[in-house]
A = this chain, B = another copy of it.
Amino acid sequence: MSAASQPTFSCKMHDHQCCITAALENAEQLCLQQSKRFTNIRRRVLELVWQQHKPIGAYEVLELLQRDKRTAPPTVYRALDFLQQMGLVHRIASLNAYVGCAHPGEPHDGQFLICESCHSLAELDIPEISNAINRSAADSGFTTRRQTVEIMGLCPDCRHPG
């Protein structure tokens, strides 16, 4: 299940509910370990992000939350910010959207393959890439704190349709 060896595109069929459950339990443990509160809203937002299982916008999350209860944007953004800080979701800058992190636990930046046809997304975490970036930055005297790597194109299924 390593993302590096076999990334999973999010629109492909697989046991979805299993993902979600696993992600939520994982998150719960992580918060417990770090003495952070995994509140209802935070849990619910993470669940919605995983349910969508492809990049989802903050206002989409908001709309889903509002089916249960009147909610305002700051609530969603706060939850998403928290989840980001915990490394439980990633924000995809080029989409203004969020995805569940494929392997939370250790903070990492990851690399994202974004299919422009089916809008699926896969997370990579290839040391070769991040190292090459860190090295080049260092060569310019630059200190890297964070890197954003987003790759737009066609996923295998959309490349070879049928």
Q: How far is B152's CA from A145's CA once the two chains are assembled, in angstroms?
A: 6
Contacts A129-B129, A136-B124 given; indicate if A147 touches B147 (C-beta within 8 A).
no
A24 at interface by CB-CB < 8 Å? no
Q: Is A150 an interface residue (CB 8 A)?
A: yes
Copy number in the complex reads 2
> What is the CA–CA distance of A137 and B149 in the complex, to the nearest angstrom?
12
Is there contact, CB below 8 Å, between A144 and B153?
yes
Binding stretch for chain B, among A14-22, A27-35, A53-61, A154-162: A154-162
Interface 1/0 per residue, A118-148 and B, CB below 8 Å? 0000101010110011001100111111111
Query: Which residues of the other chain, B, contact A151 by a CB distance below 8 angstroms?
Result: 133, 137, 142, 144, 146-148
Query: Are B153 and A146 closer than 8 Å at their CB atoms?
Result: yes
Kindly identify, within residues 44 to 88 of chain A, every residue whose CB is under 8 Å from any CB belonging to chain B.
Answer: none
Verify A145–B153 contact, CB threshold 8 A.
yes
- Check if A149 sits within 8 Å of B133, measured CB to CB: yes
* Cβ-defined partner of A93 (8 Å) among B142, B144, B148, B156: B148
A23 within 8 A of B: no
A104 surroundings in chain B (CB, below 8 A): none
Asked if B137 contacts A128 (CB within 8 A), the reply is no
Closest Cβ of chain B to A82, distance in Å, is: 20
